[in-house]
Amino acid sequence: MSIDLAVIPGDGIGPEVIAEALKVLRAVTGPAGVELELTEYALGAQHWLETGETLSDETLVKLRRHDAILFGAVGAAPGDTRIPSGLIERELLLKIRFALDHFVNLRPAKIYPGVPSPLAAPGKVDFVVVREGTEGPYVGNGGVLRKGTDQEVANELSVNTAFGVQRVVRDAFRRAALTDRKKLTYVHKHNVLVHSGHLWKRTVEAVAADFPEVAVDYLHVDAATIFFVTDPGRFDVIVTDNLFGDILTDLAAAVTGGIGLAASGNLNMDRTAPSMFEPVHGSAPDIAGQQKADPTAAILSAALLLDHLELPELAAKINAAVTADVAERGQLGVRPTSAIGDAIAARLG
């Protein structure tokens, strides 16, 4: 078997963490007789500065041919005024998510033994957020009137469809049905966002009929943030919209010990296009090129990739190696990016 992988290292710390993820991928696939075929794509803020390309149609056609995409991080340095704010994020990262129909943005949140949480008494935390990835306020359907005047009106349109909500809710129920606790929490703000919120509510209620074994729970997004810090152990599977999922998964990363461990999969569960795997963190230009970044999130994203490509045993090996490494971190002190990758890869030898 072989995996035909597109690699987009991106900007900032992206290339550093992706190098470690590839190191670990090689270490786990080699002995299993799985071949890795890599094609690197130079995309991101730096590439845009050099060429003016964010993501061309030709590149997108090429990306579609791969089995999966491993993505580092993109984005301009905050002070860099040459790059319009958010351009690379929208025209590259979000464009891929939408074009390749990544409707399930899967973001696990877990407190690993040995990893300190900013919470005084977090308890056992191990949940997964199923964030919708192709709708909501992310559709880019807003507009502006009388820009720059005192009469300016700026609108953002959140578009939500039965089709889009059904497929992500069904996916979340399927995942909840496979956990020990079989608990699904859906998060929205249906007391204010009535139209989208009630579509979510009705959809969850309808799909629930097919999963009688799953216990369903609802939280307004504001209340959900409270439980994230007072009782994160209560969550098992969370399903929510694109924007709420964005917010909640950064918060989840923070309470489980930091964005350095937060992995994600942008999944096309219909497999009509390759899925994409990326750490939740950004390009962190302030520490780029200094071997200071934690590559664990990228490495765990590679595990999600293997899982999605139906190599769950290999994914489990990476997860076990990461678990062992993070358990030791207290004693290991500060390590360069590559040393963390080396240590995790060595455990797979």
Ligand X SMILES: CC(C)[C@H](C(=O)O)[C@@H](O)C(=O)O
User: How many other C-beta atoms are found inside a 10 Å radius of the C-beta of residue 103?
Assistant: 25
- Residues within the interface to a second copy (CB under 8 A): 85-86, 89-90, 94, 116-121, 137-138, 140, 142-144, 146, 148-163, 166, 189-199, 201-202, 221-223, 225-226, 228-230, 243, 246-247, 249-251, 253-255, 258-259
The residues that bridge with 4 in the sheet, in sequence order, are 37
Looking only at the bridges linking them, the beta strands covering 2-10 and 35-40 are parallel
- The one of ligand X, a second copy, none whose footprint includes residue 196, by CB under 5 to 8 A per kind, is a second copy
Query: Pick from 57, 89, 56, 49: which is nearest to 73 by CA?
Result: 89
CB-nearer residue toward ligand X: 106 or 343? 106
Query: Could you list the residues that contact ligand X (CB under 6 A)?
Result: 89, 93-94, 191-192, 222, 246, 280
Q: Which is nearer to ligand X, 94 or 345 (CB)?
A: 94
In angstroms, give the least distance from the CB of 155 to a second copy.
6
Annotation says 241 is catalytic: no
CA 72 to each of CA 41, 175, 218, 244: distance values in angstroms, whole numbers, following the listed order? 11, 26, 33, 23
Report the chain's terminal Cα–Cα distance, integer Å.
20
User: Which residue out of 138, 186, 241, 317 is catalytically annotated?
Assistant: 138
Select from a second copy, ligand X, none the partner in contact with residue 185, using the beta carbon and a kind-dependent cut-off of 5 to 8 Å. Answer: none
Question: What are residue 40's phi and psi, to 5 degrees?
Answer: -90, 135
Smallest gap from residue 87 Cβ to ligand X (A): 11
Q: Catalytic site residue 112?
A: no
Residue 107 DSSP one-character state:
E
Report how far residue 126's alpha carbon sits from residue 112's, in angstroms, rounded to the nearest whole number: 9
Q: How near is the Cβ of 73 to ligand X at its closest, in Å?
A: 8
8 makes contact, choosing from a second copy, ligand X, none, with CB < 5 to 8 Å by partner type, with: none
Residue nearest to ligand X (CB): 89
In degrees and rounded to multiples of 5, residue 118 shows phi and psi of -70, -10
250 is catalytic: yes
- Virtual CA dihedral for 218, 304, 76, 45, nearest 10 degrees? -130
* Annotated catalytic residue within 210, 222, 270, 286: 222
From 23, 110, 189, 317, active-site residue: 189
**Torsion of Cα atoms, 234 then 237 then 241 then 246, to 10°:** 70
Q: Please choose, from the candidates 92, 52, 91, the residue with its C-alpha nearest in 3D space to the C-alpha of residue 72.
A: 92
Q: Which of residues 58 and 81 has its CB atom nearest to a second copy in the complex?
A: 81
Shortest spacing between CB 213 and ligand X, in angstroms: 31
Q: Does 183 participate in catalysis according to the annotation?
A: no
Q: How far is the CB of 26 from ligand X (least distance, A)?
A: 26
Q: Does 138 qualify as catalytic in the annotation? A: yes
Using an 8 Å Cβ cutoff, are 73 and 282 in contact? yes
Residues assigned a catalytic role: 138, 189, 222, 246, 250
